[in-house]
Amino acid sequence: SEAELARWQWWDWLWRGLSIAGWTANLGLLIDLLPRFLIAGTGFAGAVAIAFPSLLTVLQAISELTETGQEEFDKLLIRLGIPKHFHAEAQLGATELLLVILLGFHFCLPNFSNFSNRRGFEKYKQGQLASAEAHYQQALALNPDNVKAHYNLAFIYEDLQQFDKARTQYQFAVKGGFVKAYNNLGRLHILNNKPSLAIPLLLKGLAKAEQASIKVKYDLMKNLGWARLKQQRWYEAEKFLLGAVSLGSSQEGSKRISNRGSAHCLLAQVYQAQNQKTKALTQWQQCCQLGSSANPDEDLWLGLAHQKLKEENQLCGQNNGKP
């Protein structure tokens, strides 16, 4: 009846008010989302995906704010067979649907970011560092708190010897509690002759490393020994390095730790500094046998190992050999 229709239409002011509030929220979400996708450079698929809700939001704003837009929207609803007294409700329904779509995009940002991070890692394994860097930056544009992307980007910068950039990205990963980042940032501080900055990081990393891999634990202990060696705190250096040697000598460590020579090279330097020649020579031999010049840290120590062994008429890998 007309009375019932009148009562129903009386609520139109509420539906229109909620619609305006809804598209305002939609516009806010869109303003947050668009720059992320544009900065990320997500390619054609990403552009199309974000363009669809963007267009709908703009059209919705036009239909709400202009008389012509409202008329065109009413004509569309009539063509769809929706009675005029339900147009306000239809407008609200469209607004809510669009809000759900935009919220879906918003809540999926971490997933989009993780996808870009995985693509970056694939490119890194293929040796395509520029492409890997671009994908990691995409990941961070979509989710600035993606600690793995920060860590991976830092790794790229370290490979490119852009150490200031690497330290910044490792710092973000450290703030996110990523254990590997504690180790890598600590190592950069050691290389920068700042062991006092490295030690708190490495100790925190070791405290968090209970569930980490044996490789991560080894690196943390090895670098703690290295930092204490830099400070000439021999006892503490020896303690951490012996712990690293123990991990590297285990069955699992021999399979998973590629830089097992590092701890021996550093331990040799600790004993050398204390004039414990016999212990030092034993460790220099282990350094020489397990070290690799492909590792930039070990390459320098291998030179020292050859020098010290030569002074004692020994060759690498031959404890009693003669030159």
Q: Does the pLDDT of residue 315 top 90, yes or no?
A: no
Q: Does the pLDDT of residue 205 top 80, yes or no?
A: yes
In the chain, how many H helices and how many E strands? 17, 0
Which is nearest to 154 in space by CA: 141, 139, 136, 176? 136
Residues sharing a CB contact under 8 Å with residue 123, sequence separation 6 or more, in sequence order? 129, 131, 132, 135
**In angstroms, what CA-CA distances link 59 with 27, 74, 254?**
11, 13, 63
Lowest mean pLDDT among 73-82, 136-145, 149-158, 183-192: 73-82
Say how many Å lie between the first and final Cα of the chain, rounded.
111
Phi/psi for 45 (5° steps) reads -60, -45
Q: Is 285 helix (H, G, I), strand (E, B) or coil?
A: helix
More confident residue, 160 or 32: 160
Which is nearest to 142 in space by CA: 117, 112, 169? 112
Q: Does the pLDDT of residue 278 top 90, yes or no?
A: yes
Band of pLDDT at residue 2, cut at 50, 70 and 90: very low
Q: Does the pLDDT of residue 73 top 60, yes or no?
A: no
Q: Does the pLDDT of residue 1 top 50, yes or no?
A: no
Lowest mean pLDDT among 43-47, 109-113, 139-143, 301-305: 43-47
Over the chain, what is the mean pLDDT?
A: 81
Q: Return d(Cα 140, Cα 54) in angstroms, integer.
A: 22
Helices (DSSP H) in 143-260: which residue ranges?
147-159, 163-175, 179-191, 195-208, 214-230, 234-249, 251-256
Count Cα neighbours of 80 within 13 Å in the Cβ-side half-sphere. 12
pLDDT for position 60 = 56
Q: Does the pLDDT of residue 313 top 50, yes or no?
A: yes
Residues 171-195 as b or e (16 or more Cβ within 10 Å = b): ebbbeeebbbbbbbbbbbbbeeeeb
Q: Does the pLDDT of residue 10 top 60, yes or no?
A: no
Counting residues of the chain whose pLDDT is more than 70, the rounded percentage is: 66
pLDDT for position 112 = 82
Q: Does the pLDDT of residue 66 top 70, yes or no?
A: no
- Predicted TM-score (pTM) of this structure: 0.75
More confident residue, 23 or 301: 301
Query: DSSP letter at 68?
Result: H
